[in-house]
Amino acid sequence: MRIIVQKFGGTSVASPEVRELVLRKVERARDQGFSPVVVVSAMGRQGAPYATDTLIGIARTAYKGIAARELDQIMYCGEMISAVVMAGTLQAAGMEAVMLTGGHAGIITDATFNNARILKCDPTRIISLLKQGKVPVICGFQGMTGDGEFTTLGRGGSDTSASALGASLNAEMVEIYTDVDGIMTADPRIVNDAKILDCISYGEVCQLAHQGAKVIHPRAVEIAMQKNIPLVVKSTFSDAPGTLITNIAKEDTDGAAVIDKVATGVTYLTNIVQIKVHLDETMASDASFKVFKTLADSDISVDLINVHPGQIMFTINADHAERAAAKLKRQGYEIELLENCAKVSVVGGGMREVPGVMASFIEALSCNKIAILQTVDSHTSISVLVPQSDVGAAVKSLHEKFGLST
């Protein structure tokens, strides 16, 4: 049996017209000899009646502070509605479609409500349906604990469901259908000559996702990578081939290496605050440890960390800035806050051990008079903290400097 998992995002299931397009994608997979397993997200985006954000809004009006478990019960409904309706669409076209919840599909999670981790995925029921020629239509985003509690996999978690199902079914491919033709070299709202990538490695796409690109849930990529299942991000609304995510990037269809680029994409995160903590010799030797411990105890995650003898510097999400500042001041630290910052990152497996990458990076920014507040790099990425007002200029100049427009 050649299994393909086809996951359709919210905009792909939002109306009867687009559900017809989904039907065609499923029919095509069958015509090509695949046994399709369909995974769906909740219908539409914020504002649509059954979108996840709408359901969260409804719950929040009824509760002062809703418990994570209760929130999962209402968030569950979005995918339920979507999967029933999608299964109906396939049935109306003559397919034997069977709607399944995440639990029915064998997705067992821990009990971390709202952000559960998949512990195991038992494909028995799906395999038996496929053997009977049926098409399972599965609610993405959903899991179930061993003792039957409903859980969800974190926002954007339908991708994770698709990947986990693909891995457990040993699928030939997992297709992630969305409303764009594939993964782009940059946000097209900023860079008008951003390009669709033909292929990208698992590692690169994880970095892009973690650094702000809204392409695919990074956990979905990590799961597919473990089992080496190819992922394809493509559009429901076109026949474009999409972006193939595998462990070999930059290979063309003939298998010959194409022109190697140092960078694959540029991405950004906004709403960041930089914090500097001053340390002096009168402080205890474990002062810097205590700074990070204070933040960790308050569940505040830190990024872009530099520790120097007289100073610690790091960034946090602006939503936590007030709380972090208050805690640190209470402990007697002298701190400086720089608000309205953004982190811009260039990602590329090709930059490993290539000399001059940092020089080009800095050159692109300084030519455009963009202040560099902090930098950090790894083998496959370089990130810079800049004033948020410069984020567009920084992304554009780096995209051009690294030849991503050509």
Residues making up the annotated binding site are: 7-10, 52, 79, 178-179, 189, 214-215
- Name the residue with the smallest CB distance to Mg ion: 156
Give the shortest CB-325-to-ligand ASP separation in angstroms.
31
Judged by beta carbon, residue 7 or residue 399, the one nearer Mg ion is 7
Binding mask 307-346 toward ligand ASP (x if CB under 6 A, else -) reads ----------------------------------------
Closest residue (Cβ) to ligand ASP?
Answer: 158
Residues flagged as binding site for substrate: 52, 79
In the list Mg ion, ligand ASP, none, the entry touching 182 (Cβ below 5 to 8 angstroms by class) is: none
Find out whether 179 and 237 touch, Cβ atoms under 8 Å. yes
* Cβ atoms 143, 152 nearer than 8 A: yes
Residue among 10, 44, 136, 218 that touches ligand ASP (CB under 6 A): 10
Site for Mg ion in 145-164 (CB under 5 A): 156
Give least dist CB 47 to ligand ASP, A.
13
Assigned token pair, 38:
């369909």
CB of residue 150 to ligand ASP, shortest distance in Å: 14
* 6 or 52: CB nearest ligand ASP: 52
Other Cβ atoms less than 10 A from the Cβ of 105: the count is: 27
The annotation places the binding site for ATP at 7-10, 178-179, 189, 214-215
- Smaller CB separation from ligand ASP, 12 or 374: 12
Chain CA centroid to CA 244, Å: 16
Q: Are 308 and 273 in contact (CB under 8 A)?
A: no
Contact status, residue 151 vs residue 144, Cβ threshold 8 Å = yes
Three-state helix/strand/coil letters over the chain? CCEEEEEECHHHCCCHHHHHHHHHHHHHHHHCCCEEEEEECCCCCCCCCCCHHHHHHHHHHHCCCCCHHHHHHHHHHHHHHHHHHHHHHHHHCCCCEEEECCCCCCEEECCCCCCCCEEEECCHHHHHHHHCCCEEEEECCEEEECCCCEEECCCCCHHHHHHHHHHHHCCCEEEEEECCCCCECCCCCCCCCCCECCEEEHHHHHHHHHCCCCCCCHHHHHHHHHHCCCEEEEECCCCCCCEEEECCCCECCCCCECCCCCCCEEEEEEEEEEEEEECCCCCCCCHHHHHHHHHHHCCCCCEEEEECCCEEEEEEEHHHHHHHHHHHHHCCCEEEEEEEEEEEEEECHHHCCCCCHHHHHHHHHHHCCCCCCEEEEECCEEEEEEEHHHHHHHHHHHHHHCCCCC
Q: Lay out the site mask for ligand ASP across 106-135 (x = CB under 6 A, - = otherwise).
A: ------------------------------
Q: Which is nearer to ligand ASP, 214 or 329 (CB)?
A: 214
Q: How far is the CB of 115 from ligand ASP (least distance, A)?
A: 11
Cβ 52 to ligand ASP shortest distance, Å: 3
6 part of the interface to ligand ASP, by CB under 6 A: no
In the complex, minimum distance from the CB of residue 289 to ligand ASP, in angstroms, rounded to a whole number: 36
Q: To the nearest whole angstrom, how small is the minimum distance from the Cβ of residue 211 to Mg ion?
A: 17
Specify the residue, 15 or 32, whose C-beta has the smaller distance to ligand ASP: 15
Q: Which is nearer to Mg ion, 156 or 203 (CB)?
A: 156
Strand order in the sheet with 303-307: 303-307, 311-317, 265-278, 334-347, 381-387, 374-378
Q: Which of residues 24-53 bind Mg ion (CB under 5 A)?
A: none
CB-wise, 134 or 155, nearer to Mg ion?
155
Q: Which of 11, 35, 52, 109 binds ligand ASP (CB under 6 A)?
A: 52
User: Footprint of ligand ASP on residues 289-308 (CB under 6 A)?
Assistant: none
In the bound state with ligand ASP, the residue whose beta carbon lies nearer, of 82 and 345, is: 82
The two three-digit tokens of residue 165, written as one number: 């199902």
CA distance 235 to 22: 10
Compute how many residues bind Mg ion; rule: CB under 5 A. Answer: 2
Q: 53 or 400, CB closer to ligand ASP?
A: 53
Whether the CB-CB separation of 26 and 6 falls below 8 Å is answered with yes
Looking only at residues 144 through 203 of this chain, which bind ligand ASP when binding is defined by CB under 6 A? Answer: 155-159
Question: Where do contacts with ligand ASP occur on this chain (CB under 6 A)?
Answer: 10, 41-42, 52, 78, 140-141, 155-159
Question: Where do contacts with Mg ion occur on this chain (CB under 5 A)?
Answer: 9, 156
